[in-house]
Amino acid sequence: MRKRIREYGITLGLLPTGPLNAITDVEGVTVGHVTLISGEGKLIPGKGPVRTGVTAIVPHSGNIFKEKLIASCYVGNGFGKSIGLIQVKELGTLETPIILTNTLSVGTAADGLIEYMLSFNEDIGITTGTVNPVVLECNDGYLNDIRGRHVKKEHVIAAIKSAKNEFETGSVGAGTGMICHGFKGGIGTASRRIEIGGKVYTVGVLLLTNYGRMEDLIFNGKNVGRMLKEEIKKGKEAAKEDQGSCIIVIATDAPMDAHGLERVAKRGVLGLAKTGSFMGNGSGDIAIAFSTANKICHYGEPVMEIKTISPHSGDINKVFQAVVEAVEEAVWDSMFTAERIVGRDYHEAPLLPVEKLAEMIRQD
C-alpha cells in the first residue's frame, strides 16, 4: 500500500485539513468503489484486458431525490461526455449520487444510477417528474479495453451501496486505468477547514485525475516534472502526450447558494493549474460543487428560505482558498497512492517516484 503525501511530511497550502483529509470530512458524504481488473496481454476488444471501474460519491445518507442539495458546476474545457450537468446548472440542485467512470461507460452508468434511484422512489415518472442522473468520466483507453464497456449496471449500484466514510485512493474504482502527468493517477482526495462567523466549516474534494504532461508537472511553483522525467527515462518510458481529463467533485457544509457554488467550482481548475495543467484541447476539465447545509424538499412549499454566505463578505475568499489548496493536494494524492497497473497490450504508466520527489522538496 503506497502512502499519502502527508505521510512523507510534505504539506501543501496553509489551511488545516479535516481528520481524514478527504471529501468525507464533510459530514454525511460517503464514497464507494468497484474496481474491475481481469485479463492480461494483447487487447481483444470486448474481452480485455480490463482495467476500469466505478466510483460513487453519495452526498448525504437520506433520500437525495426527496431531499435535494444545492449545487452547481463549471466546465473549464468541455471535451467530455458527462450526463446531468445541464440540469444541475439550470436548477441549481443535485438529486442523485455522483458517479465517475470511463468515457464509453457513461450511458450504462446513468442507467444503473437511474435504476438505483427508481428502486426506492416509486413516484418518479408517475406522480412526479423524472430524475437527473449525474455521471462524469475520463478516458482510460490507454490501459483498459474501453470498447468492451465492461462496467455494468450492477457495478454502479454496488459502488453506491458500498459507500463509506473511509475509502481508498489511487488505482481504484474509476481511477483504475487513469494517468496523471505521465504517471499513474486515479482517485485523489483532500479537505480543508475554515472558520466563518465563529463557526468551523469543511471543504472537501475528490478528483479523478487523467490529464497533463510529465514535463509540465509543478510542485509549489517548481517544475519537478522535467527532473523526474530524467529518472523515468532510466526505466520504462512514460506516455508522452497529454492523457486527457480531470473531474473535480467539491463538497462543503458551508451554507451556499447555487451561484456561490458555481464560483467555488471555478476555483477548482485553479488548483489544477498549480500542478501544471493548461487544460489542453482534448481535456475535459469539469468541476461540480454541492453544499450539505441546505436540503431542498421535493414536495416542499413553493417559497423556501436558505442560508448562504454573503457574496459581499470577504469570508467567501476562505472557501475559494480551501478549494484551490485541496484540489492541488488531491492531484498529488492520486499519484502518491496509485499502485502499479499493467494494462492492455502491456501498456503501463510509471509510478511517481515519491522518494526522489521528497528528496527534491527537502533540498529546497
In-domain check, residue 363: no
Structural domain range at position 114: 5-357
Dist CA 205 CA 268 (whole Å)? 9
In-domain check, residue 364: no
- For residue 364, the model assigns a pLDDT of 66
The string of DSSP letters for 5-31 reads: GGGGT---SSSPP-SSSSGGGSTT-EE
Of the candidates 72, 105, 191, 245, the residue annotated as catalytic is 245
Q: Alpha carbon of 82 to those of 101, 109, 254: distances in Å?
A: 10, 11, 26
In-domain check, residue 148: yes
- For residue 240, the model assigns a pLDDT of 52
In-domain check, residue 362: no
Dist CA 19 CA 284 (whole Å)? 31
- For residue 258, the model assigns a pLDDT of 98
- For residue 195, the model assigns a pLDDT of 97
Residue with cell 500542478: 275
Please list the ranges in the chain whose pLDDT falls under 50: 235, 237-238
Contacts of the segment 280-283: beta carbons below 8 A, 24+ positions apart: 280/77, 280/211, 280/242, 281/77, 281/79, 282/79, 282/242, 282/244, 283/77, 283/79, 283/211, 283/242, 283/244, 283/245, 283/246
Closest residue by Cα to residue 98 from 166, 176, 30: 30
Kindly report the CATH number assigned to the domain that includes residue 157: 3.60.70.12
Is 245 one of the catalytic residues?
A: yes
In-domain check, residue 162: yes
Residue 149: left (phi > 0), alpha (psi -120 to 50), or beta? left
16-42 tens-digit pLDDT: 999 999 999 999 999 999 999 999 999
In the chain, how many domains are there? 1
DSSP H helices, 181-291, are: 225-233, 258-273
Classify residue 279 as exposed, middle or buried by CB count within 10 Å of its CB (0-12, 13-18, 19+): buried
- For residue 236, the model assigns a pLDDT of 54
In-domain check, residue 200: yes
Single pTM value for the model? 0.96
Of the candidates 285, 291, 333, 334, the residue annotated as catalytic is 285
Is 283 one of the catalytic residues?
A: yes
Closest residue by Cα to residue 189 from 316, 337, 319, 10: 337
Residues forming beta bridges with residue 203, ordered by sequence position? 192, 252
Please list, in sequence order, all residues whose beta carbon lies within 8 angstroms of the beta carbon of residue 158, skipping any fewer than 6 positions away.
32, 34, 54
Of the candidates 105, 283, 291, 334, the residue annotated as catalytic is 283
